[in-house]
Structure 1
C-alpha cells in the first residue's frame, strides 16, 4: 500500500484506513485510489473483517478532493470512470463502512464519504462540491445521485449550484451524518462506540441489509446511457482547461462557458 494510505489492522475485526497527505489536506492521488481499489478487492473476500473505518490525517480535512495535476496525465473522463469503479468497490463491501470526518470533506472526499454506510463528523467539518467555482468540471451521475440520497436534493443543489459548503449541524439535521461531535477526541470516542456495537451485531443481518440497500441503489443511482458524451463535453471544454490552469497557478479562474 502507498504511504499516503495507512492501513491499521490492530483491532480484531476492524480495518482503519487513514488518508495521509495532511500537507495537501489529504487530496487523493492516483496512487491512493489504486491502493483503495486493491484494498476493497481484498476485503470483499475477508469475512474476518466486520468494520472498515476511513479518516483523514491532520485534523483539517477528511479529504479535499483530488490531486488536480493527475488529470493532466490521463483522459479525464476515463479517470473519472476509473474512480467511480473504486467507489463501486467501496459501496459493494460486505463490511459496514464508517467515515470519521474531521474538517473539510469536499470533492472526491465527499464522494468517498457518501459511499460509506455511516458518517460521523466534528462540529467544524464542512461538506460540498464547489466545482462550479473551482474547476468547471462535473460529477458523474452515480456520484451526484448518491449525494442527493445522503444529503437530500435541496442541500445537494446548494452544494453544486450555489457552490456553498454545508455545515456539520445542517448535515446532521438532514440525516447525512449520524452524529455531530465537538472535537477529534469526541469523534474517536463516538467511532469506537459505534464500532463496538457493530462488532456485537449479527454479521448475516448486516450483510443481507447491505445487499438489499445496494439493490435499491442500483435502481435509483445508475448512470444514464448518454453519460460519457455529457462528461466529455465538460472535460473537453474550455472551462475545465481554465479551471485546471487557474488551480495549479493558484489564480481565480475566468470561466467562459
Structure 2
C-alpha cells in the first residue's frame, strides 16, 4: 500500500501530493521517504505538472516527522549522520516548480523538512506547529535551520527550545511569517489549490525562474548552516534508549499560543 498519494489535474497543471499514513499521524517511514523523493524527481520531467499542493490525510496531522519505529543505523563518526528525511523535500531533489503546503492538525519535528522546502504555507485554523526534539534529548538542527529562513530568530528559538511544552497556533504562525494564509479547517487544500492554479496558469519559465531567485536570497546562509547540522546532532543527542525513556515519561499536556 502506498504511503503517498498523487493526484494530477492536467487541466489546471496542479498536482496534489498527500502523505497517506493517517493512523501514524502521517509520520514518514523509509518507504514514504523513498516515495517522496521519487515523486519530486518525476515531477521534474512531467510538463503537465506546473505547481504542487502538499498535504496530509486524515485531518489530525499534516506530518509528525519521522516514524519513531524506523530503525536508521548510524555511523560512529560525529561528522557523519544518516538521515532519511534529508531527501524528502522538493528542493533536495532539484525540483523548482512551486510547492504550496496545506497544513491541518499537527505539523511537528521532521515536518519542517517539508515545510522548509515549500514556497509558502496555507494553514487550517486548527493547525499547530511544534518541535519536540529538545524534550526527548535530541538536537533540533535541520528543523531549526529550515524555520530560521521563514521566522524571526526569537520565534524559531522559542519553538525549538520549548519542545512539547508549547505549540504554535495557526494564527501565531501567520503573525510570525511561517504561514501565509489561515482558512477554516477543511478548506486548506482548496485554498492552496486555488493559489496553485493561478501560479500554474503563468509561463513556466517565468515561474521557475522566480522560484530560483527567491531561494537564491537565502541559499548561501542556509547551505552553510546545514553543513554544521550533522555533527551537532551526533554530538548533542542522547542515546536512543534515553530518548525512548523521555518520550514515554513526558506525554503530558501542552499550551498553545
TM-score, structure 1 as length reference? 0.85
Structure that is richer in helix per residue? 1
Q: CA deviation at 1:97?
A: 0.1
**Contact in 2 for aligned 1:110/1:127 (Cα 8 Å):** no
Highest RCO, 1 vs 2 (Cα 8 Å, sep ≥ 6): 2
Moved more, 95-104 or 201-210: 201-210
**Contact in 2 for aligned 1:51/1:198 (Cα 8 Å):** yes
Is residue 176 of structure 2 the alignment partner of residue 169 of structure 1?
no
TM-score, structure 2 as length reference? 0.85
Aligned to 2:216: 215
Cα distance in 1 for partners of 2:118, 2:158 equals: 22
Aligned to 2:121: 119
Cα distance in 1 for partners of 2:100, 2:93 equals: 11
CA offset digits 1:72-119 (Å, max 9, x no partner): 342286332x42233364574121101010110001112211210111
Structure 2 counterparts to residues 132-211 of structure 1, below 5 A: 132-133=134-135, 135-141=136-142, 143-163=143-163, 164-184=166-186, 186-211=187-212
Give the number of aligned pairs: 243
Gapped regions of structure 2 (runs ≥ 5): 252-257
**Contact in 2 for aligned 1:151/1:176 (Cα 8 Å):** yes
Cα distance in 1 for partners of 2:90, 2:8 equals: 23
Aligned to 2:73: 74
**Contact in 2 for aligned 1:130/1:165 (Cα 8 Å):** no
Aligned to 1:234: 236
Cα distance in 2 for partners of 1:57, 1:124 equals: 15
Aligned to 2:255: none
Q: Secondary structure at the match of 1:204?
A: helix
Is residue 35 of structure 2 the alignment partner of residue 32 of structure 1?
no
Q: CA deviation at 1:226?
A: 4.9
Aligned to 1:17: 17
Aligned to 1:52: 52
CA offset digits 1:148-170 (Å, max 9, x no partner): 11122121111111222211001
CA offset digits 1:130-189 (Å, max 9, x no partner): 2111x3222334x422201112212111111122221100111122211101110x3233
Cα distance in 2 for partners of 1:14, 1:60 equals: 24
**Contact in 2 for aligned 1:126/1:168 (Cα 8 Å):** yes
Cα distance in 1 for partners of 2:148, 2:104 equals: 21
CA offset digits 1:209-256 (Å, max 9, x no partner): 111223223211014555433222134x43x43113554xx4339xxx
Q: Classify 1:155/1:11 alpha carbon distance in 2 versus 1 (closer, same or farther; 3 Å).
A: farther
Gapped regions of structure 1 (runs ≥ 5): none
CA offset digits 1:40-70 (Å, max 9, x no partner): 1111223331111111111110011210121
Q: Secondary structure at the match of 1:94?
A: coil
92, 105, 108: which one pairs with 2:107? Answer: 105
RMSD of equivalent CA atoms: 2.3
